[in-house]
A and B are shown apart, each in its own frame.
Chain A
Amino acid sequence: MNIVVCVKHVPDATADRQFESDNTVDREGVPGLMSELDEYAVEQSLQLKEKRATGDGGEEVTVTALTVGPEGAAEGLKKALQMGADKGVHVVDDAIAGSDAVATAKVLAGAVRKLGEVDLVVCGMASTDGAMSVVPAMLAELLDLPQVTFGSVVESQDKEFRIKRDGESATEVIGATAPLVLSVTDQSGEARYPSFKGIMAAKKKPVETWSLSDIDVDAGEVGAEAAWTAVISTEARPPRSKGEVVADEDGSGAKALVEFLASKKFI
């Protein structure tokens, strides 16, 4: 079985993220890391590999970590390899800069196609920067595959998958047959930390670097120029100014709280 897990290198969410003067995300001024939400995708891929290896027949599973992004994005791949992915693919091309979700999905789809027979494409539930949560659906559409997103429990036998999903108004169990695109939530299980052994082993794992021409994606279809949406303006929200904070003494806190709510007409 071949699993591709998509990981994104993002600006650290706990740092001060900003926009550049051209309204693109500043990806240099802020330290980057693999999107935390992709750790869960890597974890589920590795668990699947481990389960299948010890199951009857000892099926061999290859986990390929795939990332799209500038030079620095290789750092994100490294994390996935240290956790236990078998190999990495980094699609890097100057033309990709400024790509929107559609273009990103096209590049990912091109790389998945080039990888050949893929049974499962696993993604995180959202990136911690763009947070649109649409790339898995777009990827599925481009690859003409079924999609099951926001999975919290993943079970499988051969090509049959059963995924528990917290939907909007119900908890659902979804059935689908591989090949398919899957996204998993942070409820799917704590992601492992790279072990010392994992960190050492990662240094020897193969990482391929592909350009757009390697994956048959037309440079005219990606990048800021080709984006199907445009940012008109970005504005930092004025920082919230800290309001009044009172200490509760013998019930004074509750009274002050109610007075505040009443003054704002919430009562």
Chain B
Amino acid sequence: MSEVLVLVDEVDGAVRKPTYELLTIAKRLGEPSAVFIGGAEAADAAVEAVKKYGAEKVYVVDDSEIKGYLVAPKAEVLAQLVEQASPAAVLVPSSVDGREIAGRLAIKIGSGLITDATDVQPGDDGPVTTQSVFAGNYTVQAKVTKGTPIIAVKPNAAAPEETAGAGAVEKFTPTISDAARKAKIVASQPRQASGRPELTEAAIVVSGGRGTGGNFDPIEGLADSLGAAVGASRAVVDSGWKPHSFQIGQTGKVVSPQLYIASGISGAIQHRAGMQTSKTIVAVNKDEEAPIFELVDFGVVGDLHTVLPAATEEINKRKG
């Protein structure tokens, strides 16, 4: 069976959940090989982590030479690994960086690229992907017809399955061109950890819009009672009430949780683009004509400042 390369997504050595999802998908397509590009000191822990989710091989690439540059060096690493391993496919997370690494890789190795896959299944002539397009109004199935399929996969595309892999470590030393080292990170300020789940990975998202008037206490209270992530509309971000990292929609994050609760959000097309594929949608809005109600499984016409705190209290009471 051919190898399937999986680019490990990690922050300071901690492997993130989408990596396990990619490994689970890789196992459907062939033999999962994880590609860890990071600090030597973090490699051992990362190897242990990906082994648990079926990585038969782990390519460990020391990033001390390429740290601090944007995506170009990582694309070179993957291109060289593809050359060496002739994999059946390359899977990367469909994040901002992941998609761009994939884009550069596609050109380098002359292979087709599919982004934003919400499912990947083996097919007669290579993997078949599923994406949702046009603000979630269409579902599209596609395949790569040239070269080694490169697929950028969205979070929650698969339920991670624990299964022991051999995890054989292979150190890989890439040749990085000078051209790849031209966009340099000169300063970086890590985002504050909120203690809540990551927006794109969360099972439940509670979001607030202009209707909050900038007071997010009711939104955050409800979110915490449900163990949910907190999101926002662009109106909230434009007003400076929350940073852009909270924004859901066309120009923010696209989420697809089990449950999405929108409060004080009207439901503009650009917002829908970021949440329309959620399994269950709930809205609280004081305007019964708000377009968001066209999408909901359940809605309350009312003031979020009274409805949400009362609901939160009731939920906390039930939880005991």
Interface residues of A (CB under 8 A from B): 13-14, 17-19, 23, 37, 100-102, 105, 125-126, 128-138, 140-142, 144-150, 152, 162, 166-177, 180, 185-187, 227-237, 240, 242-248, 251, 253-258, 260-262, 264, 266-267
Contact = CB atoms under 8 A, between A and B. Distances in A.
Given A167-B96, A229-B144, A236-B137, A180 B299 contact: no
Please give me the 4 A-B residue pairs with the lowest Cβ-Cβ distance, nearest first.
A248-B302, A228-B112, A254-B310, A134-B103
Nearest to A243: B297
Q: Looking at chain A's contact residues, is the secondary structure mostly helix, strand, loop, or mixed?
A: mixed
A247 B310 contact: no
B265 interface: no
Contact of B70 (A18, A148, A166): A148
A232 to B, nearest CB: 4
A267 B188 CA distance: 39
Given A142-B107, A240-B294, A258-B318, A228 B113 contact: yes
Given A186-B251, A237-B136, A149 B100 contact: yes
Nearest to A164: B187
B183 interface: yes
Interface string B134-156: 11111111111111000000000
B182 interface: yes
Contact of B183 (A18, A176, A230, A242): A176
Interface residues of B, number: 92
11 contacts: A125-B251, A126-B250, A129-B134, A141-B75, A141-B108, A168-B96, A232-B128, A237-B137, A244-B297, A247-B300, A253-B310
Interface of B: 11, 70-72, 75, 95-97, 99-104, 106-108, 110-116, 128, 132-147, 179, 182-191, 204, 226, 234, 237, 244-245, 250-251, 258-259, 269-270, 273, 276-277, 280-282, 284, 288, 293-303, 306-308, 310-311, 314-315, 318-319
Contacts, number: 263
A258 B312 CA distance: 8
Contacts of B143: 229-230, 232
A128 B96 CA distance: 16
Nearest to A175: B186
Contacts of A253: 284, 300-302, 307, 310
Contacts of A146: 70, 72, 179, 182-183
Given A253-B301, A254-B310, A227 B97 contact: no
Contacts of B251: 37, 125-126, 185-186
A175 B97 contact: no
B112 A243 contact: no
A119 to B, nearest CB: 14
Nearest to B258: A266
Contact of A171 (B106, B191, B204, B319): B191
A233 to B, nearest CB: 5
